[in-house]
Structure 1
Amino acid sequence: MSRKKLPIGIQNFREIREEGHYYVDKTPFALRLFDEGKYYFLSRPRRFGKSLFIDTLAELFAGREALFRGLHCTSR
């Protein structure tokens, strides 16, 4: 069994998924954003994945289903 690479410094969801990097699924949080409200302020410390999360949302809205296979949002 080979280990997945860590996505150090990568803020692009597509690159992480297509190149087989380790990814912690944050799509449950994205689905909550869609279902539960209007306005959000993403306040997190530096280097906490804000850019990656925004890129993940962009890919969800673009409908790139293949990138999300095996993640929480496709099991819904």
Structure 2
Amino acid sequence: MEEGFVRFLLPFYANVNKVESPFEIQKFVREVRFGDYDSFFRRLQSFFADTTYEVIREQELHYENVFFIVFKLVGFYTQVEYHTSKGRIDLVLQTDKLIYVMEFKLDGTAEEALQQIHDKHYALPFASDGRKLF
């Protein structure tokens, strides 16, 4: 279904030419599926850096919504504002082999986001799941 959408339906409705874009959805999907989170987040950071400043008001909510929409469109099981006993995870993305726990910090660093995930034990609800956790 996903491959059919991306290969046949999307090009029919979107003005897509054969020039390769660094932001092709297939690249994001491939990186998520194979657990190449360094490449995924580098590509994502570049993608968001290309977003016009005036378009974004509530930046963290904007990014959360963009992630949610993109991941849902490509068929990943995605949850935003996932509640735990210690707080709220910004986004949880699940594939058949991997689980990503994401915390967005637009005015902070990646280290601060990771520290919050650690301090609030955001990965704990998924600890007994057999999938690899990021």
TM-score range relative to shorter protein: 0.3 to 0.5
TM-score (norm 2): 0.24
Query: If you compute each CA radius of gyration, which structure gives the higher value, 1 or 2?
Result: 2
TM-score (norm 1): 0.34
Structure having the higher strand fraction is 2
Which structure is richer in relative contact order (CA contacts within 8 A, separation 6 or more)?
1
